[in-house]
Amino acid sequence: MDDSLHIETQMLAGQSNTISQTIKEYSRRLLGFIKQRVSGNEDAEDILQDVFYQFAANTEPIEQAGNWLFKVARNKITDKYRKHSLPLADDVFSTSVSEDETFDWKEMLLATDDNPETEYVRSLFWEELQLALDELPAEQRDAFVKNEIEDIPFKEMAAEAGVSVATLISRKRYAVLHLRVRLQSLRDELLNY
């Protein structure tokens, strides 16, 4: 019985070393990856901590730790955006709707019922939004995320970044135009499904 306890302790120590090595190996790159996709250092550090917590608590074997960590990080970032209200729903989806179209984006994405169809469409939207945000230059993405998702006023953003309010409004405008185009294809795909 004493031998099995010793073997178990060795296994836990080996697992702890592997976790520590992985954290040391990926911390910097993963934090940089997250910082590019969220607006604040605190948010990035919180997400990084959540990723490594999930990694340490994982009981399933992981073949490629790096790929797994980056996938979890992307999911955590997407979850962070999901917690906030739908950004610019009226503006992003303000294309003309024909009389026979019955697809209501706001109703679908902000619905409180969690039926499988609603969850699937909501998931598709947030994934597509994250991909579209990733395509934007950092300044445009930050202007959009800070103003629309985090509700930070332009004046506060301007004071923090050292740029004019007009510059930030312009950056956000370009982000909205890009998002409108990118999300229109998802809307068309769902309407024709």
Query: End-to-end CA distance of the chain, in Å?
Result: 61
Tell me how far apart the alpha carbons of residues 126 and 110 are, in angstroms, rounded to a whole number: 12
Class of domain 89-191: mainly alpha
Supply the pLDDT for residue 11: 41
The predicted-structure confidence for 85-126, as pLDDT tens digits, reads as follows: 444 544 555 444 444 444 455 555 555 566 777 777 777 888
| Domain spans in the chain, listed from the N-terminal domain onward | 2-82, 89-191
User: In this predicted structure, what is the pLDDT of residue 137?
Assistant: 93
Rounded Cα gap, residues 104 and 177, in angstroms: 20
Rounded to two decimals, what is the model's pTM?
0.50
**Cβ neighbours of residue 112 closer than 8 Å, sequence gap 6 or more:** none
